[in-house]
Amino acid sequence: MKCIMVTGGCGFIGSNFIRLMLDSYPELSIINLDKLTYAGNLENLADRKDDPRLSFRKGDICKRELIDDILQHADVDAVVNFAAESHVDRSILDSGPFVQTNIVGTQVLLDACRAAKIPRYLQVSTDEVYGSLGAEGFFTEDTPLAPNSPYSACKTSADLLVRAYVHTYGFPAITTRCSNNYGPYQFPEKLIPLFISNATNDQSLPVYGTGENVRDWIHVEDHCRGIDAALRKGEEGEIYNFGGNAEMTNIGLTKLLLELLGKPDTLIKYVKDRPGHDMRYAIDASKAKEKLGWTPTYSFREGLQETIDWYLSNSEWIERIKSGEYLSYYETQYGSRL
């Protein structure tokens, strides 16, 4: 592969993916198309701004002329679609932008890629499309789709469009579905960076409901290596699950974070639950292991400690974000909860 277009490359996972790809493939060039929403931050790739192999276009994946223009002027071998509204709580406040970017944006990208005969398309999806598990079992690629939040309903709709394009047009797409990511550059509305930042400032940690909900945590670098493997070795039309083998209850994770940060449990504040809160996610990633030769490399504790260290030594990054639009969101979100 000589050139790929990455959408949403200024967000958390997209920026980590671009960094990994530039480091792994010296001959590769990358076009990063990002709308720079509240979650998109050029600073996430500041260390790569002088790399001639990386170019940036500010724009919306819903704009067909823009995508056509990029694909006509570059010899793109593959498109990797990270661009999305990604936060479940925001989708509960207003699902409009989620329908627009996650569904309409995907449809526009698929049509543009089809017209330009792009040989490979990878849709970055989520385990939330499978809904919620009870105490037992794991999501496999064959688990029926049963999304519960406006966010996951929109991601599922996009996955179904991808599936339909494969089936109807023989479109060369692959879909990946991953569990909860953690690591550097995650927007501090998500549990881990939010709680690290709050605890550091001796502010309370808002745990939703009883805190017994379970998430399976994967280091973002392991997820990005999985996407790379799927892009190179995945079979057209196939779906690959990625997970970190690290199930934790939210309250267990919160107490672990406080322990690692040397802060007291008295910072924990139980708040009103997220409406429709999914109970448990857990991934069976054996297909990715068998077919792609992928396996997660981080142990959760090691990855979490490294992540904490990153946030502590990049506190200005978070503080700059927190001084922007974030504040009004935080007040809307927690004003009624705390």
**What amino acid positions are annotated as catalytic residues?**
127-128, 151
Q: Is 196 in the site for ligand DAU (CB under 6 A)?
A: no
Give 250-265 as a DSSP string: HHHHHHHHHHHHT--G
Q: Which is nearer to ligand DAU, 25 or 38 (CB)?
A: 38
CB of 180 to ligand NAD, least distance (A): 5
Contacting positions for ligand NAD (CB under 6 A): 7-8, 10-14, 34-37, 39-40, 60-62, 82-84, 86, 101, 105, 124, 126, 155, 178, 180-181, 187
Report, in Å, the least distance between residue 75 CB and ligand DAU.
Answer: 31
Phi, psi of 100 (to 5 degrees): -65, -60
> Of 249, 336, 256, nearest to 304 (Cα)?
256
Q: Six-digit token pair at 249?
A: 């209850």
Least Å distance, CB 266 to ligand NAD, is: 29
Interaction partner, residue 300 (ligand DAU, ligand NAD, none; CB < 5-8 Å by kind): none
Distance CA 206, CA 198 (A): 9
Shortest CA distance to 45 belongs to which of 2, 8, 3, 4?
8
142 three-class SS = coil
Say which DSSP state 124 is in.
E
Among 190, 219, 223, 225, contact with ligand DAU (rule: CB under 6 A):
190
Binding to ligand DAU (CB under 6 A) within 240-279 occurs at 250, 274
Residue 182: name the closest of 52, 300, 59, 42 by CA: 300
Q: What is the side-by-side strand order in the sheet with 214-219? A: 180-182, 214-219, 247-249
Look up residue 282 and give its two tokens: 């857990």
Residue number, 155 or 280, with CB nearest to ligand NAD: 155
Query: Quick one: which of 73, 151, 86, 167 has its CA closest to 112?
Result: 73
For residue 286, the minimal CB distance to ligand DAU (Å) is 18
Residue 37 binds which entry of ligand NAD, ligand DAU, none, CB below 5-8 Å type-dependent: ligand NAD
* Selected range binding ligand DAU among 41-49, 105-113, 206-214, 299-307, rule: CB under 6 A: 206-214
CB-nearer residue toward ligand DAU: 86 or 307: 86
Residue ranges in contact with ligand DAU by CB under 6 A: 86-88, 126-128, 179-180, 190-191, 194, 206-208, 213, 215, 250, 274, 281
